[in-house]
Amino acid sequence: MLKVAELTKIYDSIIAVDKLSFEVRHGEIFGLLGPNGAGKTTTIRTILNIIKPDSGKITFDGKEFTEDVWNIVGYLPEERGLYRKSTVLNTILYFAGLKGLTSHSAKPLAYYWLERFELLGQENRRIEELSKGNQQKIQIIISILHNPKFLILDEPFAGLDPVNQAVLKDILLELRQKNAGIIFSTHQMEQVEKLCDNICLLNKGKSVLTGSLPEVKRRFGKKSIHLEFEGDGGFLRDYSYVTRADIYQNFAELELTDITMSQKLLSDTKDRLFLKKFEVVEPSLNSIFIQVVSGDEKKSD
Amino acid sequence: MNTKAIKVAWWEFSEKVKSKAFILSLIIMPIIIILLGAVPTFLATREDTQPIIVGIIDETNKMYLDLSGRLEQKYKLSNGLPNYILRKIEIRNDLATAFSEANDLLRAGEIEGYFYFSSSVFDSGKVEYRARNVGNIKIQERFSRTIEELIVERRLAKEGLDPSLIGRLTAGINVVSIKVTEEREEETGFLDVFFTGYILIMILVYLILTSGQMLVRSMVEEKSNRLVEVLLSSCSAKDLMAGKILGLSALAVLQVTIWGLVSLAVISKVGFGFNVLLFENLLLSVVYFILGYLFYAAIFVAAGSPVTTEHEAQQITSYLSLLLIFPLVISLVIMQNPNSTLIKILSFIPLITPTLMVLRLNIQLPQTWEIIGTIGVLFVSFLYTIWLAGKIFRVAILSYGKRPSLAELVRWIREE
């Protein structure tokens, strides 16, 4: 288990991370979310011992960061880049070597992953000859080749086409199966909803929302109703039990005083509109994100 | 030193050794040495292939014949022709017309230059040489020596002395410089000594600059592509820094070895060379060489790790190269007086110790206390700088964007 306790990092006078605590268990994908400048990257760098915290403690399976931890963590930074003049295979083997693998044991693994990402045949080309997406795949390979017990990925899906996004998603699920603890930092909420077991939403260095995904959704935001229809839906906002309404041409998202009122809504509207769809939905993580972050914004203003 | 540092070193070495820049630098350095060292020497001592025509305006009417005879006797070309042919410019009306005639010939390129002997030359000893190129030292040196002989002979004869007797009595003083060392005596010329030290320093300066540049470049690259974050999540900053220095040092060793082997091969084939490989105190030179190299590598790390752009990296390199070249600038002073107090004091400034001491070692062995002292100072400076560099590197390698201020640097160094 990766345990972050009371982590604080201060730059000059700005508190980048403020008493942040969370845990990532083996076999779990943990979403570290937050708007730009929330302190995600600082948190990640501190976990990886790249920068030192001002206070707080980080432990890997109970141990503090020591020599052996280097070999069991994998990291994909948000900003990508590799040695442009070096060949694909040499680059992969170099980083595998730094993770404690011998060239002999790393080579078959390198070929395995190159094949998975459909990069076989490119191993002797220089990095600079590869497309951006392919370079990113090499970086992903570098972060997972040594079969890390803890894997930290900063925006891993950004820049990948849908096919490779699917490949990466499968790989992450496999790694979870193999009991890796995965921290996944992103802005893309759809990916989080598909993959994450638990999340931590950061804003201005503070944790503003933590817990398992269903729990967060339950705790946060009411259920809402999605309506698809033909006709003029303007009257929908006039019902006393509708607390919030977003009405578009053929679509409306409504929040009700109580979700049981949905049945009344259905009977009230079925004669006035031609209903194509009526759905009780959980709030999307996206809307929770916006709600929490902008709410936070208002509070501090 | 652990295995990760060695892995970093091997990577830096094996990737750089394949680069075009390295292969180019392997070739460029010998070319620079040949250009700076051998070519001027070669040009200066090169034999003429055709006779050179020199004009003479002779008011004495005695010098022309004597001089042309003596020159012909002394200087011959390899094909048997005389090296110098004198062309007499008659004084028909007055001296001024003779001069203008000579100047015309000079401009037309028919004569290389001309000498003017006034009627009082035997008393005053004053001779004028006029030419378009008064920098041709060989002609002036040979002529003035011959003219001096002739004038002195005439003076002697006038006093009733036999020139040949005087010649015998005054002959035989021929100073050959012999450098005395513990084991053997060896004839060396000024040039040999000068070039031995000079070339050694050039190699040192060149290696430090190319390695330093590569070091700073690789740091800038890893910074700009954020690979440094991946590296630092795989090994310690110390290992990374040590690995880089080690890898580039290995590259430098390889470079020197290749140059050494090639020049050995060339010298054994051609039998040409200015004692370069015969320098004494090889071991001491190597000590200064290695310490100097490492010291500067540490400086490059300290100065280069806060740098974020290629442009800034180049600035750093050029500042440091000025410091390195300083001993070369004052090398002539060192040659003339290697034991002056100033030179001794300068030898203890670690930034110039390596180059200055390598130069001094090849001129005259400095006293033992100086050698021990300078090596000590250099070694301590190296340890201190590498410690300092480690601290700066650890923080600076992660600083992107703006260049840190001096105050920030000091804070990083103080921080634990």
Compute how many other C-beta atoms are within 10 angstroms of the C-beta atom of residue A50: 22
Whether A125 and A274 map to the same domain: the answer is no
DSSP B82: B
What ipTM was predicted for this assembly?
A: 0.82
Contact by Cβ (8 Å): A145, A95: yes
Q: What's the rounded Cα separation, in Å, for the pair A154 and B322?
A: 44
Contact A97 B7 (CB under 8 A): yes
Whether A226 and A238 map to the same domain: the answer is yes
Write the single-letter amino acid at A127. I
Q: Identify which of B364, B202, B384 has the alpha carbon closest to the alpha carbon of residue B280.
A: B364
pLDDT on residue B174:
53
Average pLDDT in the A145-170 region?
A: 91
* Identity of the residue in A77, A85, A99 whose CB atom sits nearest the CB atom of B234: A99
DSSP A301: -
* Identity of the residue in B11, B233, B398 whose CB atom sits nearest the CB atom of A94: B11
Q: Residues 6 or more apart from A144 whose CB is under 8 A from it?
A: A74, A113, A151, A171, A175
SS3 B61: coil
Q: What is the CA radius of gyration of chain B?
A: 30
- Specify the pairing of strand A55-60 against strand A2-11: antiparallel
Could you write out the DSSP letters of every residue in B184-239? -EEE--HHHHHHHHHHHHHHHHHHHHHHHHHHHHHHHHHHHTTHHHHHHTTS-HHH
Average pLDDT in the A280-297 region?
A: 76
DSSP B275: S
Contact by Cβ (8 Å): A92, A109: no
Q: Does residue A72 sit at the B interface (CB-CB below 8 Å)?
A: no
Which residue of chain B has the CA closest to A126? B15
B 298-337 residues inside an 8 A Cβ radius of A: none
Chain B CB contacts of A103 under 8 Å are none
Residue A265 lies in a domain: yes
* Integer angstrom CA distances of residue B104 from A150, A203, B123: 91, 91, 30
Chain A CB contacts of B224 under 8 Å are 81
pLDDT on residue B289:
85
Contact B4 A98 (CB under 8 A): yes
Contact B234 A98 (CB under 8 A): yes
Q: Identify which of A135, A177, A157 has the alpha carbon closest to the alpha carbon of residue A28.
A: A177
A 131-170 residues inside an 8 A Cβ radius of B: 139, 142-143
User: Contacts from B333-337 at CB under 8 Å and sequence distance 24+?
Assistant: B334/B359, B334/B360, B334/B363, B335/B190, B335/B193, B335/B194, B335/B363
Residue A78 lies in a domain: yes
Contact B227 A81 (CB under 8 A): yes
Residue A247 lies in a domain: yes
How many angstroms away from the CA of A135 is the closest CA of chain B? Answer: 12
At A140, the pLDDT band (50, 70, 90 cuts) reads very high
pLDDT on residue B37:
62
Residue A298 lies in a domain: no
The continuous run of DSSP H or E covering B394 comes out as helix B368-396
Whether A96 and A20 map to the same domain: the answer is yes
Whether A156 and A130 map to the same domain: the answer is yes
Whether A185 and A261 map to the same domain: the answer is no
Length of chain A in terms of residues written:
301
Q: Tokens at residue A194, please?
A: 């598909």
Of A194, A218, A242, the position where a domain reaches its end is A218
Chain A CB contacts of B4 under 8 Å are 70, 98
- Dihedral pair phi/psi, residue B244, rounded to 5°: -65, -45
Q: Tokens at residue B280, please?
A: 């004494």
- Residue A247 scores a pLDDT above 90: no
Residue A160 lies in a domain: yes
Residue A293 lies in a domain: no
pLDDT on residue A152:
94
Residue A299 lies in a domain: no
pLDDT on residue A170:
92
Question: CATH no. for residue A272?
Answer: 3.30.70
Of A198, A218, A238, the position where a domain reaches its end is A218
At A198, the pLDDT band (50, 70, 90 cuts) reads very high
Which residue of chain A has the CA closest to B234? A70
B 396-415 residues inside an 8 A Cβ radius of A: 398
| Mutation choice for B interface testing from A60, A90, A94, A132 by most B CBs within 10 A | A94
Contact B230 A90 (CB under 8 A): no
Of A170, A198, A218, the position where a domain reaches its end is A218
Whether A246 and A151 map to the same domain: the answer is no
pLDDT on residue A263:
87
Chain B CB contacts of A54 under 8 Å are none
Whether A131 and A236 map to the same domain: the answer is no
pLDDT on residue A78:
86
Residue A292 lies in a domain: no
pLDDT tens digits, A60-109: 888 888 778 888 999 999 888 888 889 999 999 999 999 989 989 999 99
Whether A235 and A200 map to the same domain: the answer is no
Contact B15 A82 (CB under 8 A): no
Contact by Cβ (8 Å): A242, A224: no
pLDDT on residue B184:
46
Chain A CB contacts of B234 under 8 Å are 70-71, 95, 98-99
Q: What's the rounded Cα separation, in Å, for the pair B71 and B65?
A: 10
Compute how many other C-beta atoms are within 10 angstroms of the C-beta atom of residue A46: 24
Whether A148 and A231 map to the same domain: the answer is no
Whether A65 and A34 map to the same domain: the answer is yes
The pTM is what?
Answer: 0.73
Contact A98 B15 (CB under 8 A): no
If one counts the domains in chain A, the total is: 2
Consecutive sets of 10 residues in chain B, 416 residues long: mean pLDDT of each? 85 89 82 68 65 85 83 80 84 82 85 85 81 72 83 82 72 54 49 66 83 85 86 88 90 86 71 48 81 90 82 80 77 72 86 85 81 93 89 77 65 64
Chain B CB contacts of A71 under 8 Å are 234
- Residue A234 scores a pLDDT above 90: no
Contact by Cβ (8 Å): B57, B118: no
Unique residue bearing structure tokens 């690259």: B221
Contact A77 B229 (CB under 8 A): yes
Contact by Cβ (8 Å): B292, B204: yes
Residue range(s) defining the domain that contains residue A259: 222-282
In this structure, the dihedral spanned by the alpha carbons of residues A264, A267, A272 and A276, taken in order and rounded to 10 degrees, is 100
Q: Residues 6 or more apart from B198 whose CB is under 8 A from it?
A: B37, B328, B331, B359
Whether A93 and A25 map to the same domain: the answer is yes
| Mutation choice for A interface testing from B226, B234, B308 by most A CBs within 10 A | B234
Q: Residues 6 or more apart from A89 whose CB is under 8 A from it?
A: A107, A110, A123, A124
* Identity of the residue in B14, B227, B234 whose CB atom sits nearest the CB atom of A70: B234
Domains and CATH numbers, chain B: 3-41+189-414 (no CATH), 50-174 (3.40.190)
Q: What's the rounded Cα separation, in Å, for the pair A73 and B13?
A: 26
Q: Identify which of A136, A186, A133 has the alpha carbon closest to the alpha carbon of residue A144.
A: A136
Whether A139 and A262 map to the same domain: the answer is no
Chain A CB contacts of B398 under 8 Å are 45, 50-51
Question: CATH no. for residue A33?
Answer: 3.40.50.300
Q: What's the rounded Cα separation, in Å, for the pair A48 and A143?
A: 13
